[in-house]
Structure formats: structure tokens, C-alpha cells
Amino acid sequence: MIYWDHNAAAPVRAEVASLLARAFSQGGHGNASSVHAAGREARARLDAARARVARVLGCEPKEICFTASGSEADALALVGAFHARPVAERRRVVTSSVEHPALLGAVARLEREGAQVERVAPGADGRVREEDLLAALTPDTALCSLMWANNETGVVQPAAEISRACRKQGVLFHTDAVQAAGKVPLSLREVDADLLSLSAHKFGGPSGVGVLVVRKGVDVQALTPGHQEGGRRGGTQNIPHAEALALALELAASEQPQVASHVGALRDAFEQAVLAEVPGVAVNGAGAPRVPNTSNLRFDGVEGEALLIALDLEGICVSMGAACASGTLTPSHVLRAMGLTAAEARGSLRFSLGSETREDDVRQVVDALRRHVPTVRALAG
């Protein structure tokens, strides 16, 4: 099998799998809120995991809030920070129209609850123009959210520039960094965000654990009441998963330059070969800065789902867009926001490579596309 859907879920690293196996088989099941010896041991492990994550990101351990997913982290950031805002008259939320469905769902909830929301559209290359987003920041803006890198196109957004502008204007800034971790250098020294979301299964950790960074001085209202995570998220913490996330993040950060160089060269070779050998293909997001592992290709006159199935039958795993939106017939909101027609959006596939991708894989995928695209195109009429 050739697995090119790392933006949906990256394989769990062997080191992380070993850690989880030991954690679940060798005892140490204390609750971190208990005061007895087992509870104190659990608390020490949780604190250590929190400190390791903070060290990678360049923040303080107490600013790390463990969640069950990146989607939960996004919702806690947007809904929690908006309802805990110190200046009640600020009721405006600014974001982009190419955010992850989890973020857009949280924004839609705030809109139903009375927030004034502006969704800034990107250019044709999928990148939100800095000047367009800055123009949307008015004195009544409470919160701005802009993803670090897009999950479908891989386009890197101007999060660093917008974070600095928000800081000057007293606007809370959140960035969904789920697709940036392990692909670009990730540090709060680069993007001065008040809130930042991560999800372990995007960089070699297990599904079911994420992080929301909540910088000092920023309040969030818990979505699930409880005393855990500094009162920001109730519920007994999953300590093995927190440790697994910390390990996966450390490994991803340390290997990022080498992996980026490796997958970037393969991604570029893949795009060049497809454009040369398969007629009627374009790169969505071409011309914009992109994370090195992601290629979103538009096949003219092709039903993407049919092409995806044809590739799947050959053991090639790719995607039509956000994994959270799979199974729907609605064209990608990201590609539509970029100006593509519904047919063009439906004819697009995402190829997201990983560290295990090899040159032979590139050749096999290109050959499969060269054979299947004409057939699928002919069937579509």
C-alpha cells in the first residue's frame, strides 16, 4: 500500500507505539487528581509531558492544556475565549473562509449566539492576503483566528504577520497549527499567538489527544466544567496519550528539517511528472508558499471520487479534502473559496506524503494517474 494521506492521519511512530504499550501494560494507572502515591506519580508524569510540549513550542508548561483532539482545541479556543473575553462590547470575530471545518463550526456557533463574524476570502492561490485580513480588524474585534497551514492545499497563511498586528490592537489571536506541526518550524516565538491548536495524530502520535496553548493572561471558559487542566477542561486526563503526544512532537520537531527536505523534493518531482505526463492537470495553490508534503491537483473533466476509487483499488490512498468532511457530496469549501467551480472542486484530489515516501512510490502514483485519468475522464463524458 502507498499511503499518501498523512494530512488526514500520519502513521503512529514505532517509538510512540512502544511507549503506549509500556504505559498500558506496566501499571501506573493512578488519577492525577488523587493525593495518594499513585496519584502523585500520575501527576508527575502529566507535568513532565506538559513541560516537554512547552519546551518544543517555546511557552510555559502551565500554558499547555491537553484536549481530546485538534477539533476540541479549536472549539475551546474560539468559544471559550470569546465567552471569557474581558471587554464585553467587543463582539466581532474575524477568520478566513478556508479554515478547517472544526474551526468554522465553532465560529458558526458563536454567530448563532450573537457574535458578528467576518470570514475573509483568500486569493486564487489559496492564501489570505495580509492587507485584507488587517482591514477586517476593527475596534470591536474580540478575536481573530487564522490557520498556520491549510489542510487541503498545504498553503501557508500569514499567521506571523497577523499575530503581531492583533497584539498591537489588543485582539486575541488564535492559530490552528494542526497541519504545520512537523512540516515547518513550529514556535510561538515565530507566531505570537494567544491560542494555538495541535493534534497528535498529524505528526506520529495517537488519535484522541490534542493541545490548546493558552498564553498567560488569556482566559477561556471551559466547554466541559471541571477543575482539571487549570479549570479549562474538565475530565480525568489521559496520561499515556499526553506522554505519547509529547514524544511524537519532540521527534517531529527534531526531524523536521530533514523530513521537509525529503518530502519536498518528492512532492515537487511528483507534480512535475504529473503535469508533464497527464494532460488537463493543475496544482491548486501553486504560487503560494506551501508545506512541503502536500499537493492538491485538479483534473479537468474528472470526477475525483471515481479517480480516488481507482487509485484505492491499486493500493494508493489519497483524499478529496478534509478527512472530517469525507463522505459528503459537498464540494470543498476551501477550493470553492479560491474561486474554483463546483465541478473543478469535485475533480481535485489531495496527495499528502510522509517521511516513509520513496521515489518508487512517486513513479507508481504517476503511472497510475497516467493510466486512470483518461479512463475516468471518458466515463464522465
User: How buried is 35 (Cβ within 10 angstroms: 0-12 exposed, 13-18 middle, 19+ buried)?
Assistant: exposed
Known catalytic residue at 324: yes
- Determine which one of 65, 166, 317, 324 is catalytic: 324
Q: Helix, strand, or coil here: 320?
A: coil
CA nearest 337: which of 95, 61, 43?
95
Our CA dihedral for 137, 172, 202, 373, rounded to 10 degrees, sits at -10
Among 356, 284, 363, 359, which residue's Cα sits nearest to residue 3? 356
Question: Cell match 505570537: residue?
Answer: 192
Share of the chain residues as helix, strand and coil, in percent rounded to the nearest 5: 45, 15, 40
E strands within the chain? 2-3, 64-67, 92-96, 116-120, 141-145, 172-176, 195-199, 210-214, 281-284, 294-299, 316-317, 348-352
Measured distance CA(87)–CA(83) in Å, rounded: 10
Question: How far does Cα 274 stand from its chain's mean position?
Answer: 26
Cell numbers for 100: 478547517
Query: How far is the C-alpha of 287 from the C-alpha of 212, rounded, in Å?
Result: 31
Instruction: Write the DSSP string, 182-247.
Output: TTS---TTTS--SEEEEEGGGTTS-SS-EEEEE-TT-----SS-SSTGGGTS-S---HHHHHHHHH
Active site positions, annotated: 324
